[in-house]
Structure 1
Amino acid sequence: MGAEYSAVRGQGRADEAGSVLLSSVQFARTPAWNPAQALSELIGLAYEGLSEARPWFSLAERLRQLLGAFNVTITLYHHEDQPRDIQVMALDAHDRTDWDRAERDSRERFWHIDLLRPETVAPGTLIEFGPRDVEPDCAAYMASLGIGRCLRSCFAEPGGMRCWIDVVRGLRVSGQAFVEAERALLLDVLPHLSRALGLYARLKREEAEKAVYEGSLDHMALGCLLLDGNTRVLCVNRTARSIIDRQVGIEVRQGRLLAEERGVQQALEGAIAKVMRARMEAHAACPGELVRLRTRDGMLLGILVEPVPPEPYYQGEQVPSLILHLCELSQCEAVVQAPREHSPELIAQLFGLTRQEARLAAWLGAGQTISEAAGQMNIAVAAARNYSKNIYAKLGIKGQTDLVRLMCRSVALLR
């Protein structure tokens, strides 16, 4: 993943190699800033950066402005064996430098220079370097990119995530070395970035867990709708959306799950109200409420309303409060099509069957008769009976009833 760039208005001109040489007027020192005010602003951006689509981009851009830099890069992931780092970069809109290529070239040609490698900078510390501090070939390459001085720092969190900030000044900035007040500002921000990074890492772990659990529910073909304290729909998982879109007589409209049939809607509202009351009264064990719904096209759906366990310090009308589990009870397609199209190999692998035996097991497990299954497989009924005898013998079961039970217990592995 390459660097991501800002679009900030500025002036610059390109040299013959296509690199940007930035004017001393544009990137001269910014007017004197109040240290306390600047620090307060950057601390706010350090924590606000958690929720940005490009984490800490606003912080990078503000640092670029405050420190008179033409490029500020925050490296969120660095690994020696990867061709590129994961970075968020703030730079001038007129900069046409291919920084991805510059990174690849730097790794290929100059990675033996410890000063250039981020991992040599310890958390909470700063280093400053420029063309005068490296060998001639590298100095010429840095100059071709317009790099005058770089102030690099590192921040980390206890779980092992380590990030770097590079504040880069152009060759033509007068007095290009960073002064003590600028270095102190960056050092003062680092502890807050470390704390923010810890929160960011925890947030991303929880998001990953959420995605895994959502995938598991979709894998089990179980629809879920999460409701807030006003019983309005907060989110709908993929399976629930698919079920609702397929059925006639149930929909999500204006933030509510609505059934077309009046009696079913009343039953659903009653179940939701009852479970919500139980949650508000902090009942230790609320068993949930079940509602059955037959859609206009004859399909039977089941809805289980359950409370979301309350958090003592996380309350309010927007907090997830109820979960509605939605399941198709009479929809054969979801049960039959998936084994037929996707699972014969898994069934064969799990139960030690041949492919033809696995195909027959899928149809029989879905409730088809021997004749119906033979027709689906385009084989003779006699052949299907022989296959079924082999299946029962291999699995050590007596007949189709046991096979259906076994397939139902294995559905989580076979979908």
Structure 2
Amino acid sequence: MAFLSTDQRELYLPLMEGLLEDPPWQRFLGNLLQRTGARRAALALAQPGSPEPTLTVRADAARAALDPPLDLARLAALGLFPGTAMRTGRVYTLGEMLDFDVPARLGAQRSALGAMRINHARAVRVGGAGTGEAWLLLTREREDLGAADSALLAALAPHLAAALAVRAALGKAGMHAAMAESTLALLGTGEIALSATAAVLAADSEAERLLAFTADPGPLRRLQLLPETARALEAACAQLAGAPPEARRLVSLGTRHLLLRPAPPGSGAALIGMIRSAPPAMPSDAATVLAAAHGLSPREAALAIGLTQGETILEAGQRLGLTPETARNYSKRLYAKTGTAGQAQLVALVLTGLAPLA
């Protein structure tokens, strides 16, 4: 079919812009309704690795406002839409999705469709296991959709598949960021992304908590600092931008310090700044994790956690109700079971293990 400028403005661009909408592609579906004159449009989305849709986005024409609900779960249970038997990229008519070989099933399908005022439809399936899948449906009650509508869906299918791949990549990147951010927060560490001029491009939740920011007239923020501290940070950023990956620079922010390093290539930032709060207290489940990792008894693990928190053997033992002699015996068993040669090695073992992340 001919590629029209209105298609680009009203359909193809909203496919990309719709990645940032919540729910996604709402405007795209609305424009598709207007373009085809369909009564309803629905987009069922399945996450990568999931065989079933986990999100459905719908759009209804004004004349369908009083129609019965569009129950996609009921349609799917009857082998209609969304259907895993649909070939990717092929546009289906409603008649092709009906099961004419089993009269009882056909009757149930027609009953469900009639209850939803669906007499005509076009549907297409796109995507794959690595990007997730999407099923796009257009319905009408009276007149059938035409060849031009089928051609439009066929033309849209590869663009929808591309948008789906971008959505999957964004979701994966967001998942990685969330995992890293949550782990850093457990360690009291925050990160900010900076430009070469010390403008703040992004900050995680821990950095937002630990630092003060000031809004610039433009879209970029800066750290709220004393003038001389701000100048020192700007100079450090200018010097470190483009430096080798192993380069580091420590900048004093007054009561805190910011450790700067060059940002990874392709990240969109020049530098990454790291800040840490005072060492957080050990999580409540730290002793349980430590005991499981090294075959310790609950009291042995609790004693090790106490030593890691700065207590002496006697102080930790007293807190646990142990006599000085028993506490010393526990510590010897701790060193033997963990393969450490003293309190310093034991503390290092605990702090570099999984207990602080429990």
Identify whether the pair has TM-score above 0.5, normalized to the shorter chain.
yes
**CA deviation map 1:211-238 (0-9, x unaligned):** 2222332233322122234422233223
State which drifts further: 59-68 or 270-279: 270-279
1:294-331 per-position Cα deviation (integer Å, ceiling 9, x unaligned): 63xxxxx44211221454xx8xxxx4222211123xx3
1:121 aligns to 2:91 (yes or no)? no
Contact 1:227 1:321 in 2 (8 A): yes
Bigger shift: 370-379 or 207-216? Answer: 370-379
Provide, for residues 22-79 of structure 1, a one-character-per-residue CA deviation record: whole Å limited to 9, x for no partner.
xxxxxxxxxxxx9724433312222222222222221111111222222100111189
Alignment check: 8 A CA contact 2:240 2:247 kept: no
Q: What is the root-mean-square deviation in Å for CA atoms of aligned residues?
A: 3.1
Q: TM-score, with normalisation over the residues of structure 2?
A: 0.83
C-alpha change, 1:37 and 1:270, in structure 2 (3 Å) is: closer
Letter matched to residue 338 of structure 1: M
Counterpart selection for 2:214 from 253, 273, 281:
253
Match of 2:139 in 1: 168
SS in 2 for 1:89: strand
Kindly report structure 1 stretches of 4+ aligned residues shifted beyond 6 Å.
78-81
Q: Verify: 1:36 aligned to 2:10, yes or no.
A: no
Give yes or no for contact 1:64–1:71 (8 Å, CA) kept in 2.
yes
SS in 2 for 1:118: coil
**Unmatched 5+ residue regions in structure 2?**
100-105, 216-220
Q: Number of aligned pairs?
A: 342
User: 1:148: which partner in 2?
Assistant: 119
1:54 maps to 2:20: no
Spell out the pairing of 1:319-330 with structure 2 (5 A cutoff).
319-328=268-277
- Per the alignment, residue 338 of structure 1 pairs with 282
In 2, the alpha carbon distance for the partners of 1:35 and 1:347 equals 64
| Aligned partners of 2:243 and 2:262 also within 8 Å | no
> Hey, what's the Cα distance between the residues in 2 that align with 1:191 and 1:132?
22
* Native 8 Å contact 2:183 2:357 kept in 1: no
Q: Does 1:180 align with 2:147?
A: yes
Gaps of 5+ in 1: 1-33, 245-250, 296-300
1:383-404, CA deviations, whole angstroms, 9 ceiling, x for partnerless residues?
Answer: 3223222212322333222222
Alignment of structure 1 residues 138-287 onto 2, 5 Å: 138-156=109-127, 159-170=130-141, 173=142, 176-244=143-211, 251-254=212-215, 255-259=221-225, 266=228, 269-279=231-241, 282-285=242-245, 287=247
1:130-167 alpha-carbon deviations (Å, 9 max, x no partner): 59955233212211111111111122258353211100
- Give, as a single letter, the amino acid of the residue that structure 2 aligns with 1:384: A
Describe the shift of the 1:125–1:353 C-alpha distance in structure 2 as closer, same or farther (beyond 3 A): same
Aligned residue among 240, 246, 262 for 1:307: 262
Q: Distance in 1 between matches of 2:210 and 2:317?
A: 29
User: Partner amino acid for 2:319?
Assistant: Q
Q: Tell me what 1:9 maps to.
A: none
Give the Å deviation of 1:362: 0.4
Closer, same or farther: CA 363–85 of 1 in aligned 2, 3 Å: closer
Distance 1:80 1:292, change over 3 A: closer
Letter in 2 for 1:357: E
| In structure 1, C-alpha distance between the alignment counterparts of 2:274 and 2:120, rounded to whole Å | 58
Q: What is the CA distance between 1:414 and its match in structure 2?
A: 4.4
1:253 alignment partner AA? T
- Asked whether the 8 Å contact 1:71–1:92 carries over to 2, the reply is yes
Cα contact 2:289–2:355 (8 A) shared by 1: no
Is the CA contact (8 Å cut-off) linking 2:76 and 2:83 kept in structure 1? Answer: no
CA contact (8 A) 1:275 1:288 kept: no
Q: Deviations over 1:318-368 (max 9, x none)?
A: x4222211123xx35x1xx224x2311011011211111111100112221
User: Would the aligned equivalents of 2:240 and 2:261 in 1 still touch at CA under 8 Å?
Assistant: no
After TM superposition, the structure 1 stretch with the greater mean CA deviation from structure 2, 199-208 or 268-277, is 268-277
CA distance in 1, matches of 2:113, 2:88: 25
Per the normalisation by structure 1, the TM-score is 0.72
Contact 1:276 1:322 in 2 (8 A): no
Amino acid across the alignment from 2:90: T
